[in-house]
């Protein structure tokens, strides 16, 4: 295959992969930006969202089919279900520790991750589950590169969700409340802002985006499993750090950049698909040496 065709194919692959990373990274950035919590259970919400979408599609496929008519409501319902799960997790596991040392909250997040993983493991027996759809492989040909309509819809859907979130945070009353709490939650309480409700909304939105990404990944890859959230959770966290954790445009940029980096990295001699994860995390280490705050991140001044 000519070099131009290889670059075009990897560009398509990188955009699709990066859109998944970006959606999950947005949840990391939102929660960290508001309450400075690294929610390491977030990748598992992506996994739970994939299974929720699979369950909904199984119910809808009998009368709506397994095409987009069944997939779209499955995505929406899984976003609502996993969003509510995120709120419940915050209420039970994180809110009581709001004033606790950060290490305690971090350990709690890891415990929540293990609970979610092992619960799904118990229900599925650790087996891979086929995420079957009727979308087919129709698309357009760009030289020797074939881009399916499904791939274009997946990337387009991810971009729309990211833009809607950015507009919500920057233009709405609740978005302003989130940004205010990130600066000074105590002053927000004095101003009459319901801090706990706003934080719960943050968890709902972040979890819902992770669920949407999980369903889209199931549609794209065709299978899901209980461990699928672990690695993408780490990579989405990496994307958030590269973009500037706590910064929503940075999370989008970091996710897309990481997807492209991973796709093109597989074409470097000596790396290939087997070493792509090593390549990605080595890049993260090197990047943080020269830009610790990320691409769009800003140094934080700790208030005394």
pLDDT tens digits for 216-271? 999 999 999 999 999 899 999 889 989 988 888 888 899 999 998 888 877 776 66
Q: What are phi and psi of 223, to 5 degrees?
A: -155, 155
The whole-angstrom separation of Cα 282 and Cα 236 is 15
The whole-angstrom separation of Cα 177 and Cα 275 is 43
State the pLDDT at residue 100.
87
Q: What are phi and psi of 302, to 5 degrees?
A: -75, 130
Beta-carbon count within 10 A of 80 CB = 15
Select from 212, 209, 203, 213 the least CA-distant residue to 178: 203
Residue showing tokens 């971009």: 159
**Would strands 129-130 and 223-224 be described as parallel, antiparallel, or unpaired?**
antiparallel
Cα dist from 302 to 38, 186, 233, 267, 299, whole Å = 18, 15, 27, 43, 10
| Candidate CATH numbers 3.30.300, 1.10.20, 1.10.3470, 1.10.357; the one for domain 3-290 | 1.10.3470
Q: What is the pLDDT along the chain (304 residues), one digit of tens a residue?
A: 567 777 888 888 888 889 989 999 998 888 988 888 889 899 999 999 999 999 999 988 878 888 888 999 999 999 999 999 999 999 999 999 988 888 899 999 999 999 999 999 999 998 999 998 888 778 887 777 778 888 888 888 888 988 899 899 989 999 999 999 988 999 999 999 999 999 999 999 999 999 999 999 999 999 999 999 998 999 998 899 899 888 888 888 999 999 988 888 777 766 666 777 887 888 888 888 888 888 887 666 555 4
**Would strands 139-142 and 145-148 be described as parallel, antiparallel, or unpaired?**
antiparallel
The whole-angstrom separation of Cα 152 and Cα 142 is 13
Cβ contact 182:246 at 8 Å: yes
Q: What pTM, to 2 d.p., does this model score?
A: 0.90
Cβ contact 112:93 at 8 Å: yes
Mean pLDDT of the chain: 88
State the pLDDT at residue 150.
87
Beta-carbon count within 10 A of 201 CB = 20
State the pLDDT at residue 219.
92
Percent of the chain scored above 90 by pLDDT? 43
H helices of 125-192, where? 149-171, 173-183, 185-190
State the pLDDT at residue 273.
67
State the pLDDT at residue 206.
93
State the pLDDT at residue 270.
64
State the pLDDT at residue 281.
85
Residues 55, 231, 275, CA angle at the centre, nearest 5°? Answer: 130
The whole-angstrom separation of Cα 43 and Cα 229 is 4
């Amino acid at each position: 295959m000519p070099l131009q065709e290889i670059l075009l194919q990897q560009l398509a692959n990188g955009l699709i992969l990066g859109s998944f990373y970006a959606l999950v990274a947005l949840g990391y950035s939102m929660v960290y930006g508001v309450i400075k919590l690294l929610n390491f259970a977030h990748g598992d919400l992506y996994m739970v969202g994939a299974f929720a979408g699979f369950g909904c599609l199984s119910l809808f496929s009998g009368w709506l089919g397994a095409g987009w008519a069944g997939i779209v409501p499955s995505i929406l319902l899984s976003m609502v279900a996993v969003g509510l799960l995120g709120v419940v997790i915050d209420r039970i596991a994180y809110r009581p520790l709001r004033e606790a040392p950060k290490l305690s909250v971090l350990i709690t997040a890891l415990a929540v991750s293990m609970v979610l993983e092992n619960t799904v493991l118990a229900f599925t027996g650790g087996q891979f589950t086929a995420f079957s759809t009727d979308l087919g492989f129709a698309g357009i040909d760009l030289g020797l590169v074939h881009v399916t309509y499904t791939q274009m819809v997946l990337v387009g859907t991810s971009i729309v969700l990211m833009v809607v979130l950015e507009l919500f945070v920057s233009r709405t009353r609740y978005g302003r409340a989130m940004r205010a709490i990130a600066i000074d939650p105590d002053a927000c309480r004095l101003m009459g802002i319901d801090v706990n409700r706003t934080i719960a909304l943050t968890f709902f939105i972040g979890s819902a985006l992770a669920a949407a990404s999980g369903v889209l990944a199931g549609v794209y890859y065709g299978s899901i499993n209980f461990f699928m959230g672990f690695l993408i959770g780490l990579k989405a966290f990496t994307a958030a750090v590269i973009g500037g954790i706590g910064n929503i445009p940075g999370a989008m940029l970091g996710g897309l950049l990481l997807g492209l980096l991973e796709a093109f990295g597989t074409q470097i001699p000596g790396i290939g698909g087997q070493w792509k994860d090593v390549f990605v995390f080595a890049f993260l280490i090197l990047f943080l040496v020269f830009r610790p705050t990320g691409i769009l991140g800003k140094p934080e001044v700790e208030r005394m």
